[in-house]
Structure formats: C-alpha cells, structure tokens
C-alpha cells in the first residue's frame, strides 16, 4: 500500500457523460500527478500539480481538466466522454515538485469504462 488513495475503483458510464476521479496523496506529499494507462497508448503522463498550482502538462485532452485543492487532494474531470477514454487512470504523489530525490508513489487506479 503506497498511501495514495483513489476513488472510485471502477466507473462505468456512457458516451457524452462527465465524470470526476479523486485522489488523495500520501501524507506530506505536495505533488500530485495523473497518468492514463490504455492498451494502445500505454502509460501516459497527463498533468502535475504542486501545492495547488499546475506544474506540468502532458498529453491531456482539452475535454479533461484537473485541480488540486488546499487540502492537497486532486480531482481529474473528464467530460464529453468517448469510447477511447476507457482506461485505467492512476494518480501518483511525491514530496517535491521536482528534484533527484522525488520518487513518485502510485495509487491503486480508477478503471473507467465508457459504453
């Protein structure tokens, strides 16, 4: 158990809908990262927040957005869902925003199925 929690574990929804995935980082960690894992794209970095501020952006679609709240938990919002958005979404956390000794610890993931 990494100490990173994600809810829900599974989510089944229909095309066109909007969902929110939630992540609580390990105690003391200031950075939160979101990754998407799908069969065709593999594991891809979506976005990073550090202490409430967006730090880095990866291959995140415009239909997706994220935020980090004052208590450091983060939410990933996915809207106008398409079949291709079905994937495992991981949240990771680390102590710092960057630096050599800044290992990321991964949560259990949320499996999203879009029908």
Contacting positions for other proteins (CB under 8 A): 2, 31, 33, 35, 42-45, 48, 55-56, 58, 90, 94, 96-109, 111
Which among 60, 35, 34 is positioned nearest to 49, based on CA atoms?
A: 34
Provide the minimum distance between the beta carbon of 111 and other proteins in the complex, in angstroms, as a whole number. Answer: 8
Nearer to other proteins, 70 or 99 (CB): 99
Given the complex with other proteins, which of 43 and 115 has the nearer CB atom? 43
Measured between alpha carbons, how far is 57 from 71 in angstroms, rounded to an integer? Answer: 21
DSSP three-state, residue 83: helix
CB 92 within 8 A of CB 4: yes
Nearer to other proteins, 24 or 48 (CB): 48
Q: Going by C-beta distance under 8 Å and a sequence separation of 6 or more, which residues neighbour residue 114?
A: 13, 14, 15, 17, 81, 82, 83, 84, 85, 86
Looking at beta carbons only, is 79 or 106 nearer to other proteins? 106
Taking the complex as a whole, the smallest distance from the CB of residue 114 to other proteins amounts, in Å, to 18
> Cβ 58 to other proteins, closest distance in Å?
6
Match 């938990």 to its residue by tokens.
73
CB of 39 to other proteins, least distance (A): 11
């Amino acid at each position: 158990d990494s100490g990173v929690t994600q809810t829900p574990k599974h989510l089944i929804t229909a095309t066109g809908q909007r969902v929110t995935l939630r992540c609580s980082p390990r105690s003391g960690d200031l950075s939160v990262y979101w990754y998407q894992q799908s069969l065709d794209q593999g594991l891809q970095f979506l976005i990073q927040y550090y202490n409430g501020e967006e730090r880095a952006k990866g291959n995140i679609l415009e239909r997706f957005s994220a935020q980090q709240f004052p208590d450091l938990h983060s939410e990933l919002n996915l809207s106008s869902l398409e079949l291709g958005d079905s994937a495992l979404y991981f949240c990771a956390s680390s102590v710092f925003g960057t630096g050599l000794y800044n290992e990321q610890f991964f949560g259990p993931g949320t499996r999203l199925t879009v029908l």
